Structure 1
Amino acid sequence: MHREYLRKVHPARLNTLILTGELWTYLADLNEQAQERLDTIMEQIKIAEGVTEKLKCTRQMEWVRRCNNIHNRAEEIILHEIIYS
């Protein structure tokens, strides 16, 4: 996603990364940062909203619904913070 963003919005930056051979390490590092941030945000939201293992044991479908909702919101945050910046 970020590569496509660079292609459309910052083509000079993309060309520089390609020519210096840094594109794939740059994208891999960005992907790692995004995944770590996603995990952190999800855990913080789960705690704030009381999505616990107890809920998972007692009401599995509710837990799945809430976790999916949290995941989607966290992804949106990551897209705006890391991917499209």
Structure 2
Amino acid sequence: MEISLFELMGGTYHREGDYFLPNLLPPESISVGIWGQRRKHYLKTQREPIYTALLLSGKLDSHLSKVDAQAKAMFFQLVKRLEKREGITEQLKAEDQMEWVRQMNSARNRAEEVIYNELIYA
């Protein structure tokens, strides 16, 4: 039983002239949101050895995606908790929109600070 070199190497090939070249596809990229991009920027500028290690090991995108998902979930939970604790309601929105916007912006900013300190800059 004879095994060809192509069977041993696996994958698919195409012929160009006298040569068989592998059909190479770039690895699938994982979608990274704004929190993942912020984490990437922080690692790249402030923690370069960690960034390089993640990049070279091929784990950077999965790390950034994981941080992004955690940050999104944490952000919405914190904002909802602050809304409830501080009485930011739809009634306030109907009665005094500017006050509602001020309080919501304050809650969002505080939630962002928590995320920066616990996930992005950790």
Structure-2-length-normalised TM-score = 0.64
- The CA deviation string for residues 23-80 of structure 1, in whole angstroms up to 9 with x for no partner, is 1121111011111101111111111100011111111111111101111111111100
RMSD: 1.3
Q: Which has the higher contact order (CA 8 A, sep 6+)?
A: 1
**Where does the alignment leave 5 or more consecutive residues of structure 1 unmatched?**
none
Runs (4+) off by over 3 Å: none
Q: In the alignment, which residue of structure 1 is the partner of 2:41?
A: 4
Amino acid at match of 2:72: Q
Partner Cα separation in structure 2 for residue 80 and residue 19 of structure 1: 26
Number of aligned pairs?
A: 85
Counting aligned pairs with the same residue, the percent is 36
Structure-1-length-normalised TM-score = 0.89
In the TM superposition, what are the counterparts of 1:31-42 in structure 2 within 5 Å?
31-42=68-79
Larger Rg: 2
Q: Give the number of the structure whose residues are more often strand, by fraction.
A: 2
Correspondence 1:49 to 2:83: no
Q: Which of the residues 59, 80, 84 maps onto 2:117?
A: 80
Partner Cα separation in structure 1 for residue 47 and residue 107 of structure 2: 31
**Where does the alignment leave 5 or more consecutive residues of structure 2 unmatched?**
1-37
Amino acid at match of 1:30: V
